[in-house]
Amino acid sequence: MDFSDSPEEATFRSDARSWLDANATLRDGSEKAQDHFMARDAEEVARARDWQARKAEAGWAGLTWPRAFGGRDATPIEQVIWNQEEGRYAVPPNAFLIGIGLVGPTVMIHGTEAQKAAVLPRALTGEDIWCQLFSEPAAGSDLAGIRTRARRDGDDWVISGQKVWTSGAHYSSHGILLARTDPQVPKHKGLTMFLVDMSDPAIETRPIRQISGGASFNEVFIDDLRVPDSARLGGESEGWKVALTTLMNERFSISVGRASGGARAEELIALATRVERNGRPAIEDGEVRSRIADFVARQRGLEFTSYRVMTSLSRGEAPGEESSIGKLLLGKLRQEMGAFGMELAGTAAGISVKAGDDAARWRNEYLTAPGNRIAGGSDEIQRTIIGERILGLPPDIRLDKSAPFSEL
């Protein structure tokens, strides 16, 4: 495991830091890094678009994209380095993660020349924001079990169905949508991918209010959405192959994002220094110190796991299954730290509505963590990946892979 930058990586880091110094403001000690990719309101969407356009103009957007499509052929580890450096500055959230990290690479592989020309430049500059219309009420982790239907009508397709947990759909301009076009074949074989315009009146987006008070993901209802065959991405009934490309890039995007982030045990230390327990600073209490020490140790373990991913990326290798370990453990750690932060903040943590204060901040961390443990692959999915691909355990017995979907 190599913890240091190579000479080339050090140069890249220096160049990135120089540009960021000239174009952004360092976060002060009271601000936390932007560890989310969803904008919270229209103002934040506008700021994110402006920041994305500035990055694109300077060549810092779509770093790993080929130069032919507007990127700079950067290595995965250079993307990690950029994420690390950008995270030090007070910048808007990366509302373009899906468009640049998932949709763009999928269109490069499976799209027509017309689709590439229409999608890629506008995704890179932030003119278009994309969402991923995959999960459904009856098909979450089992993506191949989707029921949204697309039927052929001349040169068009007519799509109807429902999607759920669609992050950012309420402000996205476009979506990549997986639909069932042939229910008479096994479920993985009758799917087709489409590119859709989220402003079409046949699409209704309803934000889902979360227990944390936020509304970052949505239900999406599609009622006889008519799209031309030119909106089909990849071959008819080849949607599973296209979806695998998208999911592979999702895993990569999450891997490089997590490698640049981490839990925030340091913030608990700062909180324990500010609040009191039994008339003394809480940090002087032995039980508090023990709990925080446990969080610090677990955080360091996750950091070393992320270094394994970074070392693989630095060698030009694909991210391994270690990313599933990191996601599984980080979600649980953040939820436990959120609960302890609420405990330190006191009873106000349950009722405070003042944005940014200790009570509201740690309550939000605690209430948001369960969603993070589902998004991008639930805890159960991560355990399956770890069991089968790392520990070599036998896979679950599946009886639904060969039967026609209509019979399931």
DSSP label at residue 282: G
**Alpha-carbon gap, residue 179 to 380, rounded angstroms:** 25
CA dist list (Å): 109 to 59, 156, 331, 346, 358: 22, 23, 32, 52, 46
Tell me the angle at which helices 7-23 and 76-86 cross, rounded to the nearest 10 degrees: 40
Give the total residue count for the chain.
408
Whether 102 and 250 have beta carbons less than 8 Å apart is answered as: yes
- Beta-carbon contacts of 367 under 8 Å, excluding residues fewer than 6 positions away, are 210, 211, 212, 213, 338
Alpha-carbon torsion 39, 43, 47, 52, what sign?
Answer: positive
Is 250 considered catalytic here?
yes
**Alpha-carbon gap, residue 341 to 269, rounded angstroms:** 10
> Facing residues of 281 across strands?
276
Name residue 287's amino acid: E
DSSP label at residue 187: T
Burial (CB count <10 Å: 0-12, 13-18, 19+), residue 173:
middle
Question: Number of H helices and number of E strands within the chain?
Answer: 12, 10
The vertex-266 CA angle with 260 and 268, nearest 5°, equals 125
The one catalytic residue in 250, 266, 276, 287 is 250
Which residues are part of the catalytic machinery? 250
